[in-house]
């Protein structure tokens, strides 16, 4: 069988080793592009004679992009991530195949969420910045113990379940909410409103859909405990950013830890240190001392990258050769 011609959009240096290694094993010929997929850049796949395209979280596979891809002969859309919120699934049905990597490393994301929680609870990010300036005062760094606090886990798939387990290891009481509770789980499932009212920490681990967009809005923030710590390592659109900022300014939210942001596509994964940030809401968040933002890096471990590359390449191979 001839090598499967595949265009990889939004490629970063850390993607290359794994994808290159498994491509050789699976008979895939990659063309790596830095450009993100959208309706305009989709034409690049046709120019490369691609049978498949590989995309990441901030590529846009909307109806226009899908039509352009299929018109150019692309048969498969391979997502090297778990979420599909950036793909028009209804429009894609019957036109193009779609594969993804649903369980590349739940531990990577869950551990990052815990790291952010510990940093916020003990002000580690502020302490680090102080000591770098030779300021060894600990005034204003009084933290909160996690032991016997209540954490609300919203979404109990693989990542949420691992995070809940980590929290139990710290002696926390875990409440859970999921639209489809796992009957085999030992988690204490409650209604979302009850979870928000009782939790000292709320951590989001659910997919972004039309039902969950702005799941955390002004009304939901008003239900939360005063001083709650809010974590989001899932998708930025789960949180209404304007409501979040107002919640922080009013001290309703004691700290926010965000690995994702609803308008991240043009900012995250890029070096903007020499630019004037045009997103006023993100700029405002970054000025607040009780906000910790990382650039969608929760997945970024050696183990997860290897799994993503392996599952993506073998998935492409199996799609074109089911006997492989």
Active-site entry in 100, 112, 264, 310: 264
The per-type count for the chain, helices as H runs and strands as E runs, is: 12, 12
Beta strands in the chain (DSSP E): 4-8, 28-32, 52-55, 76-79, 97-99, 150-154, 173-177, 188-189, 201-204, 228-232, 253-258, 291-293
Q: Which of 100, 123, 296, 317 is catalytic?
A: 296
Indicate the SS3 state at residue 87: strand
Whole-number Å distance between alpha carbons of 178 and 157:
9
C-alpha torsion angle, residues 275, 281, 283, 287 (rounded to 10): 180
Q: Out of 100, 158, 235, 310, pick the active-site residue.
A: 235
Distance separating alpha carbons of residues 233 and 62, to the nearest angstrom = 24
Please answer whether residues 257 and 114 qualify as being in contact, where contact means their C-beta atoms are separated by less than 8 angstroms: no
Q: What's the CA gap between 221 and 144, in Å, rounded?
A: 21
Question: Would residue 235 show up in a list of annotated catalytic residues for this protein?
Answer: yes
Query: Closest Cα partner for 154 from 226, 246, 87, 233?
Result: 233
Q: In the chain, which ranges are continuous DSSP H helix?
A: 16-26, 43-47, 63-71, 89-92, 106-122, 124-132, 158-169, 192-198, 218-223, 241-249, 280-287, 302-320
Give the pair of three-digit tokens for residue 36: 């993100």
| 8 A C-beta contact, residue 114 and residue 146 | no
Known catalytic residues? 235, 264, 296
């Amino acid at each position: 069988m001839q090598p499967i011609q595949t265009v990889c959009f939004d490629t970063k240096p850390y993607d290359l080793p794994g994808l290159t290694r498994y491509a050789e094993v699976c008979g895939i010929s990659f063309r790596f592009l830095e450009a993100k997929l959208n309706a305009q850049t989709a034409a690049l796949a046709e120019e490369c004679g691609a049978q498949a395209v590989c995309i990441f979280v901030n590529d846009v596979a909307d109806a226009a992009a899908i039509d352009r891809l299929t018109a150019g002969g692309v048969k498969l859309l391979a997502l090297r991530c778990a979420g599909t919120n950036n793909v028009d699934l209804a429009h894609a049905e019957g036109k193009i195949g779609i594969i993804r990597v649903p369980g590349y490393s739940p531990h990577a994301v869950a551990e990052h969420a815990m790291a952010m929680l510990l940093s916020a609870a003990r002000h580690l990010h502020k302490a680090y910045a102080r000591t770098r300036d030779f300021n060894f005062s600990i005034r204003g760094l009084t933290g909160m113990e996690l032991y016997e606090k209540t954490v609300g886990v919203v979404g109990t798939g693989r990542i949420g379940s691992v995070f809940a387990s980590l929290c139990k290891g710290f002696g926390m009481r875990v409440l859970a909410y999921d639209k489809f509770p796992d009957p085999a789980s030992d988690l204490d499932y409650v209604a979302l409103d009850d979870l928000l009212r009782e939790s000292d920490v709320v951590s989001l681990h659910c997919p972004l859909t039309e039902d969950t967009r702005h799941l955390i809005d002004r009304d939901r923030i008003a239900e939360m405990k005063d001083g709650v710590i809010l974590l989001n390592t899932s998708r930025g659109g789960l949180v209404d950013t304007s409501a979040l900022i107002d919640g922080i300014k009013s001290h309703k939210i004691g700290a926010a830890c965000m690995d994702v942001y609803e308008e991240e596509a043009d900012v995250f994964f890029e070096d903007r240190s020499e630019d004037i940030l045009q997103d006023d809401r993100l700029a405002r968040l970054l000025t607040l001392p009780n906000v910790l933002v990382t650039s969608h890096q929760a997945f970024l471990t050696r183990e997860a990258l290897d799994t993503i590359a392996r599952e993506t390449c073998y998935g492409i191979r199996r799609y074109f050769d089911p006997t492989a």
